[in-house]
Structure 1
Amino acid sequence: MLKGLQDLQILLETARQGSLSNVARSMDMTPAAISAAIKRVEQQLGTALFVRSTRNLRLTPQGELYLQQCEQALATLEAAEARLHSQQTHLQGQLHLSLPSDLGRHLFMQLLDEFLQLYPKVNLKLQISDHLSNLYRQPLDLLIRYGVPPDSNLISLPLVADNRRVLCASPEYIARHGAPTSPQTLSQHNCLCFMLADRLHNRWQFSRDGEVLSVEVSGDRSADDGEMVHRWALAGVGIAYKSLLDVAADITAGRLVALCDQWQGELAPLNLLVPDRRQLSPLIKTLRQFLLQRLGQASE
C-alpha cells in the first residue's frame, strides 16, 4: 500500500482498537511507528485527531468527522489498487508489434521494457522496419508509424498527434560548416536524406506565420533506414530532418543541435495502426494508454 494510504489505515485501526500497542501488534509495527504516523497526519491537517490518556485513545470531534470520510475514501482507493494489481496479474498474451527503425531501437526499447516489467505475463515479438508492413498478410497485431497510412482501411489511433520534424546537426558539423541561417540556405549544406519504397525524401517542408516553404535538398548519402540517418547526423557528416521523438534526447544532451528553430518542420504524427477495431484487445488498449502517458511525459 502507498505510504500515505498506510498512514490512513493506521488511523482507522487506532480508532477501532483505541490502543497504540494493540495496533502495533496487529500491523507488525512498533508503537513508536504508529504514533509517528498519527502525528504526520495531524501535522498535515493542523488539528488533533485523538485525545490521549495513559491507557487508551479516543477520537476528538474533528477526528470523528475526518475518519468517517477517510474510511469511505480508503475503501475506494483500496478497491482501485486491487483492481490495478488484478489487471497487471491477469493481462497476458503475445503482442506482435512493428516499429520504425530509429524509434524502435531507442525510445521505444526503453518504453517497452518498462511495459513488460509492469505486465510480466506479456510476451513481445518485435519487428523493426521503416517499411509499412502488411497487417493483413503478416502475423502482426499492430503497427506504430509516423504519418497517415496509405491504406485508408486501417484504423489509425493517435499517440503523438503534434509531433514534428526538426532540422538538426551535430556541434562538430556546425563548427566545420556553420549553421544554415534559414531553410533556403540548405542548398549550401550536405543533407542526409531518407528513402522509403525507393522514393527519396529530399523535399523538406517548413512553415512560419502562415508561410509554407518547400526546399529541395541534396547530399552525398541517403538510406532507407531512419537510424542510419540518425547515426550519420551524430557522426557530424551532415544535416538531418528527423522526427523530434527520435532526436529529442540527443538535442537535450547536446549531441545534436536544432537548427532554423524560427521555422516549424512538417507534422509527423505518430499513430497506432490496426486493421480492425475488433482487434483492439485489452492488451492493445492497455499498451496504448501506457504509451499515451509516457510519450506525453517525454514530449513535455
Structure 2
Amino acid sequence: MSSILDLEVFVRTADTGSLSAAARSLGLSPAAASIALKRLETRLGSRLLARSTRSMRLTEEGRRYLDSVREALATLAEGEQALRQQSHGLTGLLQLAAPSDFGRNVVLGWLDAFKLEHPNIRLQLMLNDSNADLFRETVDIALRFGVPRDSSLVALPVVPDHRRIPCASPDYLARHGTPRTPTELAQHNTLRYMRQGRANNTWYFRQGAVLQEVEVTGDYLSDDGEIVRRWALAGHGIAYKANLDIARDLKAGRLVQLLPDWQGEPTPFNLMCPHRLQVSERVKVLHRFLQVRCQALLNE
C-alpha cells in the first residue's frame, strides 16, 4: 500500500511539472520528494513520470493513474473533514453563483438561515444571469435553471420537475384581458428575457401529447430576470418566469398564473459542480438544505 505522502508527491509533481516545486509545497527536500516518487514507481512497477534534466511529463501509465490518485486523496480528505465536523460543525468556504432574481430575493435570505445553522461556514455569493464558468471563475458551485448542456459538470437536482409559468399582474389582465390559449399570447405585450445576447421570443407549452410553440413580441426586453419580474408586477405585460422566482408573488396575488391547463417549458433547477470530487460534505448539506427550502416555497 502506497503512503499518502508518496501519492501527494506524485500529484503535486504532475500539477506543477516540477519535483522541486512539489517538494517545496509539501515542506520536503528535493531528495526526499525524489525518494517518495521512486518508492511509488517501484511499488507499482511502472514509470509514472518521464524525467530529464530540463523537463518532466506524465507517462501514459501516469496519466491513467493520476485520476485514481486524485479521487483517493479527495476521499480521504472528505473523510477527515467529516470527522472534524462531527465535533466542530461544517467549516470552509462555499463559493456560490445564483441567478439574479432568485438569488437576490430568495437565496440571500435562505443563506442567512444556513449560516445560523453552520456558523463556521464562510460564504461567497455571486449573482448573475450569465452562467458562471465553474472552471475559470472564483465559484465552486452554481444554481442554474434549465437542462444542463455541459456534460462535464455534475448536476445535483434541487427541483427536477421545475417549469416556467406565464404570468401577469391583475391590473394588466383587467386592462387587456386574460389569454385562454397559448396562441392568444401573440396578441399581448410580452416581457421578454435575453440571455447571452439572444431574446427568448419563442415560448413552449405542452398539453398531453400536444406541443405548441408561440412566437411572442413586446416592447420590454432585459437580460436581468429580476427586471422582467418587476415589469410584470408593474403591469407592463405578460412574463414567462421560473416558478420559483414568482411563487411568493402568485401566493400574495401580485401576479396571476395564466394557462393553468398547459405545462410551461421544463427548467429543472440544479446545483452544479465542476467535478464529483468537489461535492464536499458542506456542498451536500447545502444541497439538502436547498431541496427542503425550494419544496416548501412551492408548496406554500
Number of the residue aligned with 2:16: none
SS at match of 2:136: coil
Number of the residue aligned with 1:101: 100
Deviation at 1:151, TM superposition (A): 1.7
In the alignment, the residues of structure 2 paired with residue 204 and residue 242 of structure 1 have an alpha-carbon distance, to the nearest angstrom, of 11
In the alignment, the residues of structure 2 paired with residue 197 and residue 266 of structure 1 have an alpha-carbon distance, to the nearest angstrom, of 19
Matched, 1:186 2:185: yes
Number of the residue aligned with 1:250: 249
In the alignment, the residues of structure 1 paired with residue 292 and residue 234 of structure 2 have an alpha-carbon distance, to the nearest angstrom, of 32
SS at match of 2:219: coil
Structure 2 matches for 1:16-95, cutoff 5 A?
87=86, 89-95=88-94
Number of the residue aligned with 1:216: 215
SS at match of 1:144: strand
In the alignment, the residues of structure 2 paired with residue 129 and residue 276 of structure 1 have an alpha-carbon distance, to the nearest angstrom, of 21
Number of the residue aligned with 1:299: 298
Deviation at 1:148, TM superposition (A): 2.0
In the alignment, the residues of structure 1 paired with residue 126 and residue 99 of structure 2 have an alpha-carbon distance, to the nearest angstrom, of 9
In the alignment, the residues of structure 2 paired with residue 237 and residue 89 of structure 1 have an alpha-carbon distance, to the nearest angstrom, of 51
Matched, 1:110 2:109: yes
In the alignment, the residues of structure 1 paired with residue 117 and residue 87 of structure 2 have an alpha-carbon distance, to the nearest angstrom, of 7
SS at match of 1:152: coil
Q: CA RMSD in A?
A: 1.8
Q: Deviations over 1:274-296 (max 9, x none)?
A: 11010011111110111112222
SS at match of 1:294: helix
In the alignment, the residues of structure 1 paired with residue 137 and residue 253 of structure 2 have an alpha-carbon distance, to the nearest angstrom, of 40
Deviation at 1:88, TM superposition (A): 8.2
In the alignment, the residues of structure 1 paired with residue 235 and residue 222 of structure 2 have an alpha-carbon distance, to the nearest angstrom, of 16
Deviation at 1:149, TM superposition (A): 2.7
Q: Deviations over 1:29-80 (max 9, x none)?
A: xxxxxxxxxxxxxxxxxxxxxxxxxxxxxxxxxxxxxxxxxxxxxxxxxxxx
Aligned residue identity for 2:151: S
Structure 1 residues 91 and 171, CA gap change in structure 2 (3 angstroms): same
Number of the residue aligned with 1:50: none
In the alignment, the residues of structure 2 paired with residue 161 and residue 211 of structure 1 have an alpha-carbon distance, to the nearest angstrom, of 22
Question: Larger Cα Rg: Structure 1 or Structure 2?
Answer: 1
In the alignment, the residues of structure 1 paired with residue 242 and residue 179 of structure 2 have an alpha-carbon distance, to the nearest angstrom, of 19
Number of the residue aligned with 2:232: 233
Gaps of 5+ in 2: 1-81
SS at match of 1:267: coil
Number of the residue aligned with 1:133: 132
- Provide TM-score, normalisation by structure 1: 0.70
Deviant stretches of 4+, over 6 Å = none
In the alignment, the residues of structure 2 paired with residue 279 and residue 223 of structure 1 have an alpha-carbon distance, to the nearest angstrom, of 34
In the alignment, the residues of structure 2 paired with residue 87 and residue 205 of structure 1 have an alpha-carbon distance, to the nearest angstrom, of 47
Number of the residue aligned with 2:25: none
**Maintained 8 Å contact 1:88/1:119:** no
Structure 1 residues 191 and 232, CA gap change in structure 2 (3 angstroms): same
In the alignment, the residues of structure 2 paired with residue 115 and residue 89 of structure 1 have an alpha-carbon distance, to the nearest angstrom, of 16
SS at match of 1:214: strand
Aligned residue identity for 1:98: A
- Provide TM-score, normalisation by structure 2: 0.70
Number of the residue aligned with 1:162: 161
**Maintained 8 Å contact 1:158/1:272:** yes
SS at match of 2:206: strand
Aligned residue identity for 1:142: I
